Structure 1
Amino acid sequence: MKLRKTRNTVLAALLAAGPAAASAQSSVTLYGRLDGGIEYLNHIANGNGGSSSRWSAEGGDWGTSMLGLRGAEDLGGGLSALFNLETALQIMNGTTGGGRLFSRRAYVGLKDETWGQLQAGRNLFIDSDGVWEFDPFVQQAVSSASLVRGRNWQQTSNNVEYHSPVFHGFDVQGQYAFGNQPGNFNAGAPGEFGRSNGIMLSYHSNLFDLRGIYDELRDSSGRLSNIFTASREYFVGANVRVQKFKIQAAYTHYAAPDTPTGLADSADHYWLGATYQATANWAVTAAGFYIRVGDGEGDVAHDPSSHAMLYALGTTYNLSRRTFLYGTVAYVRNSANGTFSVFATPRDADPGTSPMAGQSQTGAYVGMMHLF
């Protein structure tokens, strides 16, 4: 009996000491956020020559619900190993994003305090990772993604990435996504993107931020064939902070040189917006987004020459450091050939949210976000 008691005491001491010893060298964090609310949208083309409105319960209007694990291990000498596993969630039906176990991020890497971070695996495409910081609506359902049909929302697999240290406010990020297919270096697996890559240069200060991005997102055949799904992107954005205001502006040019002859193969996207931090808990944001598609016809998957203007007004109210309420209302005005929605819907989506050609559209949503 005495031996058993002694053994139990030793085991208890080891168990108590184990986590403390491990935490000094490594850490693993479970994190996530949950977003749910109610949405309204009018003038949705119904495929019968008319349009309809809808009310719906929706998740992820302010931001993607997600669940993730991240961790790091101190290897000594300023070097650490790290990993990140993250999947999107749809809380209205309990499914995960895209049928993948980890739809958003799944990578492992090394980080050095002097030389930067090198990682490999699946991640947000470089513009998705870089545009949101310069978007007044931080890539909400109504945001800079709306008039480019989600072009800056994508994720890519088979990535190798480098993130530099910050040097006098400047940092560089580079991303290269392999297609992994034999016989065609640029191609990707069916349903996946082909070889894609990008580079991002940023500057941050107390008064303003600047960022430039160049990237190439290819289709599964390895071609730049659609301005809003597989194209080259040139982006420049700026943030300026003035007392309680944050002013944000950006310009993006899209080019898809492999687009079939006669179809529109370029577009220019502009926006300007501001957020007013009225109180510590309450903020109001207003913005205008403009898209102009270059010369050319359209088809089921390609937008024709057209233009559209999107106006958005939103607000957030913090109930605590981890929970807030939000509301957004938006209106899009299309030119005669335009079918852009207030939401980032692919042109060939079924079901979609696009209106009929030349028709305007209004959308709104309210909800709650909780972070953990």
Structure 2
Amino acid sequence: MKKALLAAALMSAGVVAHAQSSVTLYGRLDAGVEYISGLPNNSYNGSTSRVRLESGDWGTSLWGMKGVEDIGGGNKILFQLEGSFSTATGALGSAGSLWNRWATVGGSNDQFGTLLLGRELFISNGVWDFDPFGQSNWSSASLVRGRNWPQSSNNVSYQSPKFGGFDVYGQYSFSNSTSFNGGGGTPSTAAPGREDGLQLTYTNSLFQVRGLYDEIRNNVNGSLGDPSSGSVNGPFSFGREYFAGVNVFLGQFKIQAVYQGARTSGETGVPIGTPTTTDQEWGGVTWQATPAAALIAAVYHVNANNGAGNANIYTIGGSYNLSKRTLLDIQIATVRNSKTANFGLDANNAGAGGTVGGTAADPGTGGAAYNENPTPGHSQTGVYAGIQHSF
């Protein structure tokens, strides 16, 4: 009897030891002082400037937790919860949403890859690895008006292991409505439009290349455009996106070059000044001058059709690591617009700047908001200096 009990105890201990689990709390706090000139005045007939305390110019302030349970045989159960917030005000990144960036659960296998379900950063965030400024506030996202920043709800994603330097990542986001592509109601009440994408990456010691395709469906009618609402956002809200990028690693230097295109479908009667397609290119170099200090220079360009014009962002900056967890950062940037373009340094919504009616969810339906887009053909210049701490 004693031998049987001892054997059972040893077996139980083996099961407990086998199913190892851990939970990690993590976060990042980013804050600094920002100056911008060339902002529109309230009536959009002139320019002004401002100085403000800003959170998230170098990187989103966030906090979260992630966990893993090893259930044996190379299999693990995973979860991640992550939300953004402002260090300037303490406000959540999305009102009423604690975990607005990540809320996933799933599993992984050493041989077959990782499958997750829930809310994630949308696959277009894969641009991050190929942006010299890592999609900071004044970078590639500015010239696509935040198209590469969104999150994706009702999502299923798969990340493959690496095979000979290649790996594949895919996402599929359900509309969760009676329509396959989504639709119905107003912009603020309709179910999400279907979203999906596929990413292929090849990496070796000298270079890394990535191709990416994604689409975001209109949540009102399920289309790849906005044919009925009169929106001025064009491909910055809905449509297909194509991306090809390369990183080249040369000792202390990293050289990056990208092409990115966005296309809508099914739009008719689009007013002049609202694009249906955009083409964006950028390039930059990062010099890791010392293990602690990095200098960055980049140029971003966008060309929008249908009279929406073109723009360039010229920027330099860098960071200095005070420790493994804390860095100081600085960025100087200017955006130059063609005669009909009004792109800003920040990733502003399309349309006229100044004080405008409506809200982000339902433009033109009451209330008022301030849009930072400069007057057409005018430039903006900014300087930002801050501190970032990770834990």
User: TM-score normalized by structure 1?
Assistant: 0.89
Residue 182 of structure 2 contacts residue 192 of structure 2 at CA under 8 Å; is this kept in 1? no
Counterpart position of 1:7: none
Counterpart position of 1:139: 135
The alignment partner of 2:139 has SS state of: coil
Greater shift in the superposed pair: 214-223 or 104-113: 214-223
Counterpart position of 1:224: 224
Counterpart CA distance in 2 for 1:22 and 1:328 is 49
Q: Does 1:245 align with 2:241?
A: no
Counterpart CA distance in 2 for 1:261 and 1:83 is 46
Counterpart position of 2:377: 358
Cα displacement (A) at 1:199: 0.2
Root-mean-square deviation (Å) = 1.7
Counterpart position of 1:119: 116
Residue 183 of structure 2 contacts residue 193 of structure 2 at CA under 8 Å; is this kept in 1? yes
Counterpart CA distance in 2 for 1:70 and 1:319 is 26
Counterpart position of 2:386: 367
The alignment partner of 2:143 has SS state of: helix
Cα displacement (A) at 1:223: 2.0
Cα displacement (A) at 1:261: 2.3
Q: Does 1:57 align with 2:53?
A: yes
The alignment partner of 2:129 has SS state of: helix
Residues 282-334 of structure 1 deviation map (CA, whole Å, 9 limit, x = unaligned): 1100000000001x2xxxxxxx4300011010110000000000000101110
Q: Does 1:281 align with 2:277?
A: no
Q: Does 1:181 align with 2:180?
A: no
Cα displacement (A) at 1:188: 7.6
Residues 24-66 of structure 1 deviation map (CA, whole Å, 9 limit, x = unaligned): 6101000000000100111111242111101000001100000
Q: 1:215 is aligned with what amino acid?
A: D
Query: Which residue among 25, 31, 35 is the counterpart of 1:36?
Result: 31
The alignment partner of 2:127 has SS state of: helix
Query: Which residue among 82, 89, 94 is the counterpart of 2:85?
Result: 89
Residues 341-367 of structure 1 deviation map (CA, whole Å, 9 limit, x = unaligned): 111111246322210000011011100
The alignment partner of 1:90 has SS state of: coil
Q: Does 1:172 align with 2:172?
A: no
Residue 18 of structure 2 contacts residue 72 of structure 2 at CA under 8 Å; is this kept in 1? no
Cα displacement (A) at 1:219: 2.3
Counterpart CA distance in 2 for 1:94 and 1:172 is 37
Counterpart CA distance in 1 for 2:181 and 2:218 is 12
Q: How does 1:1-372 map to 2 (within 5 A)?
A: 25-48=20-43, 49-99=45-95, 100-128=97-125, 130-183=126-179, 185-187=181-183, 190-191=187-188, 193-221=192-220, 222-225=222-225, 226-263=234-271, 264-294=275-305, 296=306, 304-348=307-351, 350-372=369-391
Counterpart CA distance in 2 for 1:183 and 1:160 is 18
Residues 232-266 of structure 1 deviation map (CA, whole Å, 9 limit, x = unaligned): 00000000011211000100010011334234210
Unaligned runs of 5+ in 1: 1-17, 297-303
The alignment partner of 2:235 has SS state of: coil
Residues 206-243 of structure 1 deviation map (CA, whole Å, 9 limit, x = unaligned): 11000000000122122222211111000000000112
Residue 18 of structure 2 contacts residue 71 of structure 2 at CA under 8 Å; is this kept in 1? no
**Paired residue total:** 344
Residue 272 of structure 1 contacts residue 289 of structure 1 at CA under 8 Å; is this kept in 2? yes
Cα displacement (A) at 1:167: 0.5
The alignment partner of 2:374 has SS state of: coil
Counterpart CA distance in 2 for 1:231 and 1:69 is 33
Q: 1:31 is aligned with what amino acid?
A: Y
Counterpart position of 2:3: none
User: TM-score normalized by structure 2?
Assistant: 0.85
Residue 180 of structure 1 contacts residue 188 of structure 1 at CA under 8 Å; is this kept in 2? no
Q: 2:32 is aligned with what amino acid?
A: G
Residue 156 of structure 1 contacts residue 193 of structure 1 at CA under 8 Å; is this kept in 2? no
Q: 2:56 is aligned with what amino acid?
A: G
Residue 188 of structure 1 contacts residue 195 of structure 1 at CA under 8 Å; is this kept in 2? no
